[in-house]
Structure 1
Amino acid sequence: MAEIQIKRYNNRKLYDTVNRCYVTLEDIADYIANGNSVRVVDHESGQDLTTMILAQVIVDQERRLGGLIPRALLTRLIRIGEMRLEDLSESLQAFLAPQEFVNRHIRLRLERLRARGDLSEEEFERWLISLLDPEIENPEARPEKASLASEKNNAEIDHLWRELEALERAVDALARSPKA
């Protein structure tokens, strides 16, 4: 899909330069939901405001819909704020694509062992084959199985989110209950 350029004016109005109309945060959310990328710049300075506007979109959706983002995730993002950018990127990748993260780190560690001479080339190849998930390394090899695995992973992630939210509610209820 296309990248939609949006200008933000001093009066905080947002103008879609592609479709030539003023837009709301909800419109921007719709653009993204439809597969478009959005870039927001300040009309006068040209400063990129995309991240700030996307954060506002999330806040707006949370206000309208409620329960969009689990409190635990928001708390973790705030705590991560002190970390270096690479650490944040690593944490998000591990959270959003755990198998790719694991495969990348397995490969990295095996390459270090090979470079140090602790693994021969044959051992390196054998361990790669043994440890790496072939569907992650080469998803074209078995697309039907990869699709089923992806659906299963999505269902598991949804289940884990529901459990996390239930635990969060239970902790909140315990925190509000009178002490005995």
Structure 2
Amino acid sequence: MARKTNPGGSSDGADIVVIRKYANRRLYDTRRSAYVTLDDLARMVREEVRFVVEDARTHDDLTRQVLMHVLYEQESRGEPVLPAAFLRRLIGIHGRGAASPGDLEASLARPGPRPTPAADEMQGSLAEIRQQMDEMRARLDRLAPTEARPR
């Protein structure tokens, strides 16, 4: 079961936009009081707008699932986002229980080599994932319009 959202629980005090997902699959931006699309969410990510997506009825956190849907839609339109080798490695790591989402998030947040709870096996895998993520960030920077980039 998905966890409940806690948009007000931000430790840095930054505003987090709540996007509500309704049963009819529509997404509603509570800040702007307007419906948004997956492309709008992709733009918000590029603009570094912090948001959570919650189920309108249960308030379960659906952010990860919706972000994966954004990537899926981009791939479906012929915009390659994630290399197949990266996806295979990620699925393989997850299947072995070698890394949790928190481990991967922490590895992307800190620069340079870093130890992981999964020991030696993860060292090479995370290094490859970091390199691929850096390449993906560079690719996204090239795709984002100059005026939409944060300053």
Please, what TM-score do these two structures have when normalized by structure 2? 0.59
Cα drift, residue 3 of structure 1: 1.7
- Relative contact order, higher structure (CA 8 A, sep 6+): 2
Q: 2:63 aligns with which of 41, 50, 67?
A: 50
2:112 match: 99
Contact 2:93 2:99 in 1 (8 A): no
**Equivalents in 2 of 1:93, 1:24: separation in Å?**
29
Larger radius of gyration: 1
Task: Give the aligned residue type for 1:14.
Answer: L
Q: Counterpart of 1:35 in 2: which secondary structure?
A: coil
Point out the structure with the larger helix share: 1
**Equivalents in 1 of 2:82, 2:111: separation in Å?**
19
Q: Counterpart of 2:95 in 1: which secondary structure?
A: coil
Cα drift, residue 91 of structure 1: 5.5
Task: Give the aligned residue type for 1:74.
Answer: L
Contact 1:6 1:39 in 2 (8 A): yes
**Equivalents in 1 of 2:17, 2:71: separation in Å?**
18
Cα drift, residue 17 of structure 1: 0.4
Question: Does residue 82 in structure 1 map to residue 95 in structure 2?
Answer: yes
Q: RMSD value over aligned CA atoms?
A: 3.1
Structure 1 unaligned segments of length 5 or more: list them: 106-153, 162-180
**Equivalents in 2 of 1:26, 1:90: separation in Å?**
28
